[in-house]
Amino acid sequence: MPDRTLKEYKNETYLDFSDPTNDKAQKKAIEEVRSNFGKEYDLYINGEFVKGDAGTFESKNPSNISETIGVFQSASKEQAFNALGKAWDAFEDWQYVSAKKRADFLFKAADVVRRRRLEINAWMISEAGKNYLEADADTCEAIDFIEYYAYEALRIDDGMDVLSETWGDHNKSFYMPIGAGVSISPWNFPFAIFVGMSVAPIAVGNTVVAKPAPDTPRMGSLLAEIFEEVGLPAGVFNFVTGGDIEVGENLAKHPDTRFISFTGSRAVGLHLNKIAAETHEDQNFLKRMVCELGGKNATVVDEDADLNSAATEIIKGAFGFQGQKCSASSRVVAHQAIYDELLEKVTEKAKALEVGNSKENYISGPVINQKAVDKIMKYIEIGKEEGRLVAGGKRAETENEGYYIEPTVFADVDENARIAQEEIFGPVTAFIKAKDTEDALRIANGVEYGLTGAYFSKDPKKIDNALRKFRVGNLYINRKCTGALVGAQPFGGFKMSGTDAKAGGRDYLKYFLEPKSATLRPAEGVDYDLEDFDFANE
């Protein structure tokens, strides 16, 4: 493989589905995928596809719940533990495979994703309810994660910066993989996050047991197929579906689990963090916890902002993928001088959003499942007591029976109201009025989360002030608060939004590494230096 550097990395470009050629190609891929609905998919343990010991379960199409995407295996606790054991067996060799060889597997995997791009989109449109662009952006992000982490692994393989020479000693510090761990990923970015959380530890020499969310198992099984195709050594990546307790929690508790990588709800994340903190009698390490736990994100619009642009970006941030993003704009904090005008513009745009089946590329599709419907509708009822309903507020009427909810906007919400404080994870946003700039930033910071935020202003001094005082991990000026790009906007947040691990950034892979400092003192009568020793793996 030729030498590669991070300078060669670039983000994958999204397809333009207003182009009839792309639209037609995506629709064709959807029809091909739909012809394969209902098939059975296996676990992938130690390089083999195997049946589950605890039965099977079905994945449904949230756009039309009469359709079954596929039948998936429920692994038993024993199978999950076996997968972890096989991961440790594979680690014995994988940890010593050179960064170049590991990266080569990942570059090949990225090429397979590119080749299967429309197919992957089609499965996501069907299983997660994303429209064409949201699905394609997800697939592109997966490609970005694979390639960026491969390039980063090559960079990290050079070790730390050269340290000073001391008393004739030669000093070198380099990174070592930490072992076999567990990745537990969410359904809202069912391919990108599943791929990113699996690939990151693998890129730097670790091995993984990856569990996808029960609502989107097909997206996880696609990666198993891809790694099988490129010949990734057995046991390096293991794909296990099944119950959150039977598989997920039991794997997290296992004394051999070296790291837990989790993206999901605050409640589950805190529970897993508590598990990670517990040490077993025969455990000889502290478990590494990497987590992203959601947000209650605010878009702050100051009095001098471009209101047309702000309204457009608020709609994208609040209602993209039905608000089912941890980065979604679920609060709009508007300066009192422009509050009414901005509210009117956003309300008009929200009412114009069409809701329907994702296979037809409606802007707004379904939410993920009945549990989500129940939770969102409960918050909408709460919102009717806490604010003024100006758009949406009910189940959407569509041709198919699915989990459809109208894009919903509440006005005149108190900053301490439940719909202004608690994560809803649906197509609901709340308008809050601020007295001035400082009041707006205070309100924006006044939640337990600190993931993303957006600030709209034309004034450089106000923007500089917001950059310093708006306490979020990802802050966007004059644009929506969703859509972080790998390598450009490392993603992760403060406070109860998680460990701020910055997925897609230069520091992320170090969560799966431990640095080692080596000092060589030449033996008497022997002339050698640091260059005589190869710290890189073969």
CA distance 22 to 12: 16
Question: Which one of the listed residues 292, 303, 406, 415 is annotated catalytic?
Answer: 292
Q: Annotate 405-422 with DSSP letters as a single string.
A: B--EEEES--TTSHHHHS
Task: Label residue 179 left, alpha or beta by phi (over 0 means left) and psi (-120 to 50 means alpha).
Answer: left
CA distance 291 to 392: 33
CA 243, 249, 253, 258 torsion: positive or negative? positive
Closest C-alpha among 88, 43, 97 to residue 207: 88
CA distance 122 to 235: 28
- Write out the E strands in 481-529: 494-495, 513-520
CA distance 431 to 435: 13
Question: Which one of the listed residues 326, 386, 406, 423 is annotated catalytic?
Answer: 326
Cα dihedral 232→230→59→235 (10° resolution):
-10
Closest C-alpha among 141, 147, 143, 139 to residue 103: 147
Mention every residue, 6+ apart, whose C-beta is less than 8 A from residue 177.
Answer: 91, 94, 95, 201, 204, 205, 206, 512, 513
- When computed from its CA atoms, the radius of gyration of the chain, rounded to whole angstroms, is 24
CA distance 142 to 67: 26
CA distance 393 to 430: 12
Q: Answer yes or no: are the C-beta atoms of 440 and 470 closer than 8 Å.
A: no
CA distance 75 to 355: 36
Q: Answer yes or no: are the C-beta atoms of 54 and 246 closer than 8 Å.
A: yes
140 is catalytic: no
Q: Answer yes or no: are the C-beta atoms of 404 and 366 closer than 8 Å.
A: yes
Identity of residue 194: F
Mention every residue, 6+ apart, whose C-beta is less than 8 A from residue 348.
Answer: none
Which helix or strand (DSSP H or E) is residue 209 part of?
strand 207-211
326 is catalytic: yes
How many Å separate Cα 171 from the centre of its chain? Answer: 38
> For the chain, what is the largest distance between any 2 Cα atoms, rounded to a whole number of angstroms?
86
CA distance 358 to 402: 10
Closest C-alpha among 283, 502, 323, 488 to residue 419: 323
Q: Answer yes or no: are the C-beta atoms of 59 and 216 closer than 8 Å.
A: yes
Closest C-alpha among 248, 348, 299 to residue 476: 299
Q: Answer yes or no: are the C-beta atoms of 104 and 344 closer than 8 Å.
A: no
For the annotated catalytic residues, the residue numbers are 292, 326
